[in-house]
Chain A
Amino acid sequence: MMNPADPILPGALADATEKALAEAEIRLPADVLAAIERAAAAERDTVARRELENILENIALAGERRVPICQDTGVPVVYLTLPPDVPFTPDLFDAVREGVRRATASIPLRPNVVDPLTRENTGDNTGEGMPAIHVVPGDRFEVTVLPKGAGSENTSRIGMLLPSQAGEIPKFVAETMLIAGGKPCPPVFLGVGIGGTFDMAAALAKEALLLPVDTMDAYEQELCDAVNALGIGPMGLGGDTTALAVKVKRADCHTASLPVAVNVQCWACRRATVEVRR
């Protein structure tokens, strides 16, 4: 058993958080890059193809120049996996916040976190309740970061459908993108949460964005096809590719409920996992 007061542990977690953010902000995961490359190769619309080529060139340049992929470096959503020998203490939250502060200065990140009413900027991407930190038990001590930009987050939607409306979910998902149009910087990845409760559906939708995007089951493919039929295309300029992938996470729910959440994610589906070295 690790000693909860061991100063090495929070230090290592802060280091891992900073490292994960640098990795996520500068380089896209292989499955995300491959999805964009496939779309660029298949796209038939001239304008859309050039938009996708710009995106691929941008990704390459960000890596070469060691700069963030997008100037909206987002707000971090953090997932911690704790093995049985790591005690769940408030130190862990402080360590994550320290890692976020360091990453903001070292990468650098745009300071995006503000008071919700006065809009005063905290200057370091941490604040009251921010970043969001989700803790789950696991085999390895790992930190996963998902920096989320506002353009796509703002077009996300939750609906409390009637239990009889399960067949309407594809319509709800497509309608979310119809309303969003070019605003979330398509082509997008959509995380869809089905079931649970009001809050849980939203959490599931965000967790769905952590899933690998190189495979879709038949239902995910159906949702993806419904979105792509709209022809919104990259940046709302038209084309075959509006959604690069749709990923679904489900939970059981109350017999009288059917919560459905769609978390919209721009093409820059930034995520990275780093093991905490102890």
Chain B
Amino acid sequence: MTDLATPLGDEVLALRAGDQVTLSGTIYTARDEAHMRMIEEGIPFDPEGAAVYHCGPVIQDGRLVVAGPTTSARMNALTGFLIDAGVRALIGKGGMGPEVVEELRGRGVYLALTGGCAALAAARMSLSGVYFEDLGMAEAVWVIEADHLPLTVGIDAHGGDLFQAVRQKAKTQFHQRFNIR
């Protein structure tokens, strides 16, 4: 188990798909609309060594009620500029496309947080700021202090993609079991 803290540096390059890590420090939420706004207007936070969390939290009276990961693949086509700007880790669920695997090569990692674990995530997070609040609760960029989030390296900086490996194996199993050539 490796304990990571932001800002992240070259230590993420040594990780391998399937490794288990924890992450502490500042992270930034971003979903589809925040990505599009950042492409137009620039990144509102310092991207060097940053971690971006695919999440639309439920917030009530300035408190994080629940904050589980959303499906990362929706951001496949919107992610390259973040990696180019120095973002070292993407956090979400379900993995990302081959273009993101290439963008992360030699530069950063994709970390999977267990889907649906919104109470667990919120228990290890506190709110410390917000950008683009006009986008609404789910789409704004929330600044969060994370404390030992339990994560699995889904995509590493060497082109390793655990999701893709599992998908490939499942396809082979399916074809064998049902005699499909």
A: residues with CB less than 8 A from B are: 46-47, 50-51, 54-55, 57-59, 61-62, 65, 67-72, 108, 110, 149, 151, 171, 174-175, 178, 181-183, 185, 226, 229-238, 266-268
Contacts and interface: CB of A to CB of B under 8 A. Distances in A.
Contact of B94 (A69, A71, A175, A183): A183
A174 B56 CA distance: 31
Contact of B173 (A55, A151, A229, A268): A229
Nearest to B178: A171
Q: Is the interface of B mostly helix, strand, loop or mixed?
A: mixed
Interface in B98-151: 112, 114-120, 122-123, 138, 150
A65 B120 CA distance: 10
Given A68-B66, A234-B114, A174 B174 contact: yes
B163 interface: yes
Interface string B138-180: 1000000000001010100000001101110111011001100
B128 to A, nearest CB: 19
Contact of B117 (A46, A55, A226): A55
B67 interface: yes
B116 A182 contact: no
Q: Which residue of B20, B123, B171 has the most chain A CB atoms within 10 A of its CB atom?
A: B123
A58 B166 CA distance: 25
Contacts of A231: 166, 169-170, 173
B49 interface: no
Contacts of B170: 178, 181, 230-232
Nearest to B123: A61
Contact of A69 (B95, B112, B118): B118
B120 A61 contact: yes
Contact of A50 (B94, B152, B163, B178): B152
Contacts of A238: 162, 165-166, 169
A44 B68 CA distance: 25
Contacts of A58: 114, 116-120
B177 A229 contact: yes
